A and B are shown apart, each in its own frame.
Chain A
Amino acid sequence: MSNTQIALRTAKSTALAIGVLLAILTGSAYFLGIDHLLGFSKVAMSAILLVAFVKVGLVTQFFMDVRHAPRWFNLLVTGWVGVTAAVVIGLYIGR
Chain B
Amino acid sequence: MITQSSQAAPTIAPQRAAKRVPGEPGVWVFILVEMAIFTTLFGVIVWSRAGNSRIFAEGQAVLSPPLGLFNTIVLIVGSVLVVNAITAVGIGQLQRASRSLTAAMACGGIFAAVKAVEYHNALHHGLFIHTNAYWMFFFAVTGAHLLHVFVGVSVLGLIRGRVRCGLPGPRDRQLFMSATCYWHMVDLLWLVLFPLFYLVN
Contact residues of A with B, CB < 8 Å?
A: 3-5, 7-8, 10-12, 15-16, 18-19, 22-23, 26-27, 29-30, 32-34, 40, 45, 48-49, 51-53, 55-56, 59-60, 62-66, 68-71, 73, 76-77, 80, 83-84, 87-88, 91-92, 95
Bound-state Cα–Cα, A11 to B201, Å = 38
Name the CB-closest residue of B to A19.
B80
Do residues B16 and A68 form an inter-chain contact, with CB atoms below 8 A?
Answer: yes
Taking the complex as formed, is B114 at the interface, i.e. its CB lies under 8 A from any CB of chain A?
A: no
A29 touching B199 by the CB < 8 A rule?
A: yes
Instruction: Describe B's contact surface by its main secondary structure.
Output: helix
- B43 engages A88 (CB within 8 Å): yes
Interface size on B, residues (CB 8 A): 51
Question: Which residues of B line the A interface, CB within 8 A?
Answer: 11, 13-16, 19-22, 28, 32, 35-36, 39, 42-43, 46-47, 49-51, 65, 69, 72-73, 76-77, 79-80, 82-84, 86-87, 90-91, 180-181, 184-185, 187-188, 191-192, 194-196, 198-201
Are B192 and A70 in contact, with the CB atoms below 8 A?
Answer: no
Cα separation A49 to B199 with both chains bound (whole Å)? 9
Name the one of B50, B77, B192 contacting A95, with C-beta atoms under 8 angstroms.
Answer: B50
In the complex, the answer to whether B73 meets A8 with C-beta atoms within 8 Å is no
Q: What is the distance, in angstroms, from A92's C-beta to the closest C-beta of chain B?
A: 5
Q: Which residues of A contact B20 (CB under 8 A)?
A: 68-70
Quick one: closest A residue to B42, CB to CB?
Answer: A88
Contact B192 A5 (CB under 8 A): no
> Which chain B residues lie closer than 8 Å to A15 at the CB level?
80, 83-84, 87
In the assembled complex, the CB of B34 is this many whole angstroms from the nearest CB of chain A, namely: 11
Tell me, in angstroms, the Cα distance from A77 to B34 when the chains sit together. 12
- With the chains together, A78 CA to B184 CA distance in Å? 15
A66 adjacent to B77 (CB under 8 Å)? no
